């Protein structure tokens, strides 16, 4: 799985923009509920992904949607003109609602919220795997099988390569990091050695000069 393009492109990192995410959650829940009723959730999700890709390529459209200088009804008219007939009616309506409420700048956050909600529904767990060298297919499959048993859900892997790890693997599931990398082990070994050595040195010093104490 490649690096997430929309996250990399966005000006604000929605991953940690708490306020935007909360807004996105509200719209995301509404969108999901509407598509479930109509029974075309997957189709609409694809459209949302495509729209975000489009925004990445056409930053000007992004700016117009997010801008507070352009009236809501003009944005709605623009959405109508550009997308009518090209997308499902639900998605078109959704975009109109978003535009008329002045939430055009929150499309990325909405997508993230929708994705998280879908993950929850389908029992998917997103796992970030960081390694020193790129993983081959066989290894990815083994990791996936291993994680499936551990997490009690279908793991969705996002791979990242960081040569600083030297070796080993680092998994991140939600807020928990399972770190089996060589770099971390070396750091632990180092601090342990320093602690022990200080203790050793101090003990000998105390033995040599008991009168002075500390």
Partner 1 sequence: MKFNADEIASVLQQEIEQYEAQIDVREVGRVLEVGDGIARVYGLSGVMAGEMVEFPSGVNGLAFNLEEHSVGIIILGDFLSINEGDEVRSTGRLLSVPVGDAVIGRVVDPLGNPLDGKGPIVTAERRPVEFMAPGIAGRQPVREPLQTGIKAIDAMTPIGRGQRELIIGDRKTGKTAIGIDAIINQRQSGVKCFYVAVGQKESTVATVVEALRRNGAMDYTTVVVAGASDPAPLQYVAPYAGTAMAEFFMYKGQHALIVYDDLSKQAVAYRQLSLLMRRPPGREAYPGDVFYCHSRLLERSAKLSDALGGGSLTSLPIIETLEGEVSAYIPTNVISITDGQIYLQPDLFFAGQRPAMNAGISVSRVGGAAQIPAMKKVAGGLRLDLAAFRELEAFAQLGTDLDAATQARLDRGYRMIELLKQGQYQPMDVIDEVLSIYAGTRGHLDKIPRDQVADWERGFLTFMHEQKSEIREKIASTKKLDDDTAAALETAIAEFQKQFAGKKQEVAAKA
Establish if 142 lies at the interface with partner 1 (CB under 8 A). Answer: no
Establish if 200 lies at the interface with partner 1 (CB under 8 A). Answer: yes
Establish if 201 lies at the interface with partner 1 (CB under 8 A). Answer: yes
Cβ contacts of residue 160 below 8 Å, gap of 6+? 3, 128, 129, 130, 131
Cβ contacts of residue 144 below 8 Å, gap of 6+? 155, 157
Task: Name which of 138 and 191 has its Cβ closer to partner 1.
Answer: 191
- Candidate segments 1-9, 93-101, 112-120, 186-194, binder of partner 1 by CB under 8 A: 186-194
Establish if 161 lies at the interface with partner 1 (CB under 8 A). Answer: no
Query: Which residue, 80, 75, 65, 79, is CA-closest to 100?
Result: 75
Establish if 188 lies at the interface with partner 1 (CB under 8 A). Answer: yes
Quick one: 106 exposed, middle or buried, by C-beta within 10 A (0-12, 13-18, 19+)?
A: buried
Establish if 120 lies at the interface with partner 1 (CB under 8 A). Answer: no
Establish if 214 lies at the interface with partner 1 (CB under 8 A). Answer: yes
Cβ contacts of residue 178 below 8 Å, gap of 6+? 170, 171, 172
Establish if 167 lies at the interface with partner 1 (CB under 8 A). Answer: no
Residues that bind partner 1 (CB under 8 A): 13, 15-16, 18, 21-22, 172, 174-180, 184-185, 188-189, 192-193, 196-205, 208, 213-214
């Amino acid at each position: 799985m490649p690096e997430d393009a929309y996250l990399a492109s966005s000006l604000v990192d929605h991953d940690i923009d708490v306020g935007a995410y909360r807004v996105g959650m509200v719209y995301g829940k509404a969108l999901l509920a509407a598509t479930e009723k109509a029974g075309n959730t997957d189709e609409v999700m694809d459209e949302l992904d495509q729209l975000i890709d489009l925004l990445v390529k056409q930053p000007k459209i992004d700016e117009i949607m997010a801008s507070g200088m352009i009236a809501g009804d003009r944005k709605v008219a623009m959405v109508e003109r550009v997308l009518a007939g090209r997308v499902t009616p639900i998605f078109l309506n959704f975009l109109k609602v978003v535009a008329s409420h002045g939430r055009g700048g929150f499309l990325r956050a909405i997508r993230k919220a929708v994705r998280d909600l879908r993950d929850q529904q389908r029992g998917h767990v997103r796992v970030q795997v960081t390694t020193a060298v790129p993983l081959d297919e066989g290894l990815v499959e083994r990791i996936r099988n291993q994680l499936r048993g551990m997490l009690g859900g279908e793991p969705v892997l996002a791979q990242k390569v960081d040569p600083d790890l030297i070796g080993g693997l680092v998994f991140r599931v939600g807020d928990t990091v399972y770190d089996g990398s060589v770099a971390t082990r070396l750091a632990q070994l180092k601090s342990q050695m320093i602690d022990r050595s200080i203790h050793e040195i101090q003990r000998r010093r105390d033995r040599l000069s008991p009168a002075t104490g500390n």
